[in-house]
Structure 1
């Protein structure tokens, strides 16, 4: 009885030992040899083309090359997806197939899956790390194709998988334009939720607002503008939406556009104003004045609107122009001579005293003076006791308004009157103020961050003189936003504004003592002085394939004689960071060809020499 039990236990132990010694790859190789099939990439490609899932699985188990391409340049993964062999495709993904491989037509596994409507396969690829990009077999980019064909699920999945929200289709149309022109409101709403670039323009330079108006999607205008679309850009015929609305007497649309920040091209609608005055159309006059047209706009022969209203005996027009700030002092005599008592009463009632104007301005005299860049009026108002920190219509201080509008002289005047150069913006930033801000980065910070200071506004506005005035008044550059830790120089670097970066770094923005030109093709860097004379030349090694050094114009924003890379934990002596980015000059091996991870390597002695010759703020031009 004991002997059978021992034999059974021994057999089980032997079976376990044999199983532990098995090698799946070796077993697969033996099976392939038995079948007379070569364990190679071409064999795998042939198995996929034949739809033989068992053989494909056996070849993958043998770890053959999974990137073999057919005559058309397709990988086995392309073939499996195209022929609907999802089991084979699944096996290729699990066994390390190149998920980013594109065929000569630019078709990637993800774009092919989207084109074939294979939702599960697209999800599997994206979950496995495949890039959400590529062309469809008909030559369209995958994301615009999904939008044009109403594939909401794919759109959402591609965007969530990291697709570029700023991309455009082959015709230069941004994503929102593609959705609007395709008549897909649902996709338009989804794109806005997913962060598509509403500020992008199509090949004709038209904004998304123009595209929405062509579809008569008036309810979409406000969401588009709030997301960054510019309501002031013209259509392909040169007409801005507001101009077209007024010409067509579409007052509701004109009011809507005006409420969203639309303004006359060039700042003046004098012809439209005088057309409405001659037609005695008070509604259009009120609309145009509300848009910012000056009530002092001269017409034919130098006439002023007040004079036209008086001559036409139109008290309503006269009152309207006076309410919007027209100066009626010169009309007192004429109104009295003509015994127009009501007109005289109106002129006397308005009195010419500076005061807040009625809707739609609801602004202070100081705010209006800043808005129109009237430095003299600002100085006079401050002399007469106007508080220099009195909030303007947008809910911020006069200094903040002057900075975002680029009024450097007014900024100096306010600072001279004791305004704090470091006073941060209020916590609640209005949409009206956001519309005045030029850069998308700062708009995002104003919506989502705190501790935005005047020097940060100046870094975004692109006016070096404003930044210099603030720094002279004690503005601190060593401040950062509370949540995202953005410094003033980071904001200037995001805009590639070398002059602004030089100001923040304490350099003259207009006089550059030296500059460095990096030639990526020749693998050389040359230092020039301000007159173009060559001071120093050295061989370099820039980014290798997959880590290309970016071309463009930069500034040296940091210098460290000793530095350790935070990305690769490698020593990088004589490191000179470019525009607050993750690359720059540093000492390293220079083999004579691009070999770095994106930085610009300089040999040991030359790196120290170059380090000693440069200063913070020096311009660096990297050429292809």
Structure 2
């Protein structure tokens, strides 16, 4: 029987109460303690898709070999429910991908047989394939393979992932083409996730450059580095400021990119985004912890670039307003002492000048 602390931790896990769970763990609760239904905080986090709770349990000694009442792993529980991000984290933690539970199924069997064929399950299947799941492994009881189960259920996208073939050398080409199924197959064949091309671009950086969101999501969930820089000092995260892809920004944020990382001009991602008029991107990125007053090697902030290199039209007017509202300092001048207001006035950008004056600029 679990101790009182352990029982309280299991109850907190069901509620996804991270603060209470952390307090109880600090007080000595065991993340692997099982109740009379063979549930632990770790197993609950996996089955319910509670990623932050899962990370907490892993950081405090979660036993990745622990089994539930079906003799199944945490990975099987997560795969059954299509919790792709959890599946990725568990694969990184080393949970056995081809473990068979007492129903005779692996995680891949459960993702197909009990899955719905939706995007979450397609992502889950790709992750399991990349992690080495056996696609043609027969179920113990009826001999059905994941490949056959997907076809029987008309899970077209899942079948495509299961049928994809690629060797280890095909990774970067598959990334560029946006073929997430072949990316998974290439990883399964032994490709290294941080493989680089002749310009030192990683698979994730290429995915970001080409705005291949499905591919990037797969790579992120497998632990790809969002901060790896190429020979031009671009990274997957920094490139989003150039492309202006909000979808890619959202895909990369769970990888905790370094928002202070600098490009070859000494800038952070909000600066090129402001220069290029990526309104939606700027609106989203200022809600992160990015420094809107960062100064690049040219001596310019995002606000200065939006004015000096922008066109003064509606997109740049919106960006200036967004930056000011987010705390951009309208008094920060360039290396020659030129303020944002002075540049706006000299360029005849009356609307931008009006915004800056309202913000107290001189």
TM-score (norm: length of structure 1) = 0.29
> Between Structure 1 and Structure 2, whose CA radius of gyration is higher?
1
Write 1 or 2 for the structure with the bigger share of helix.
2
Write 1 or 2 for the structure with the bigger share of strand.
1
